[in-house]
């Protein structure tokens, strides 16, 4: 069994178009990892929501700031880390979007959706700024990893 992790790292600009790009790359990576179509949809949506958060709340739509998305495919799971240049946040401080008084809120569902669609979600804010949201999804039981290990570094034009 090939146990070498495979990685795809993408640097996105803080622009609206990056949301679609991050989502599409996530869908491709999830497909490579043998997730079925429904799971590909959930994973790509979680990544899209994470990139939206990084864009809107982390980088405050500042085009000078970047969003790094790092996909690592391990033998048993897919790990996605999204890094922004913002001040960070605490999961404990986020209101519950399912609370009756929040049902008519027009925002605040992004992190909730990420948690629904992925198996694990963690947030770490660096001492010098920047926040990394790391999401994990266990691979389907029928996944057979390929032997070839590769590392790809891409940069958005």
Partner 1 sequence: MSLKISKRDVGGVTVLDLNGRLTLGDASAQLRETLRGLATQGGPKIILNMGQVVYIDSSGLGELVSGFTTVKNQGGQLKLANLTQKVTDLLTITKLYTVFEIHNDEGAAVQSFS
Q: What is the binding site for partner 1 (CB under 8 A)? A: 16, 19-20, 41, 45, 48-49, 52, 97-98, 103-107, 109-110, 112-113, 116
Strands (E), the chain: 6-13, 66-73, 77-84, 120-125, 131-138, 151-155
Report the alpha-carbon distance of residue 80 to residue 82 in Å, rounded: 7
Among residues 38 and 128, whose Cβ is nearest to partner 1?
A: 38
By beta-carbon proximity to partner 1, the closer residue of 35 and 72 is: 35
Q: How far is the CB of 110 from partner 1 (least distance, A)?
A: 4
**Smallest gap from residue 126 Cβ to partner 1 (A):** 25
61 φ/ψ sector (left φ>0, alpha ψ -120 to 50, else beta): left
Could you tell me the smallest distance in angstroms from the CB atom of residue 5 to partner 1? 29
Residues 26, 22: Cα–Cα separation, whole Å: 6
Given the complex with partner 1, which of 44 and 134 has the nearer CB atom? 44
């Amino acid at each position: 069994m090939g146990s070498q992790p495979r990685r795809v790292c993408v640097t996105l600009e803080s622009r609206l178009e990056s949301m679609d790009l991050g989502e599409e790359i996530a869908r491709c990576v999830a497909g490579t990892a043998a997730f079925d179509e429904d799971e590909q949809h959930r994973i790509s949506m979680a990544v899209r929501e994470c990139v939206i958060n990084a864009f809107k709340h982390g980088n405050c739509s500042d085009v000078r700031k970047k969003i790094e998305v790092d996909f690592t495919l391990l033998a048993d799971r897919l790990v996605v880390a999204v890094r922004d240049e913002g001040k960070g946040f605490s999961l404990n401080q986020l209101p519950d979007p399912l609370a009756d008084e929040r049902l008519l809120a027009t925002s605040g569902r992004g992190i909730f959706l990420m948690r629904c669609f992925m198996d694990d979600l963690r947030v770490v804010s660096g001492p010098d700024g920047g926040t990394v949201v790391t999401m994990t999804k266990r691979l389907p039981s029928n996944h057979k990893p390929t032997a070839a290990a590769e590392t790809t570094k891409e940069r958005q034009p």
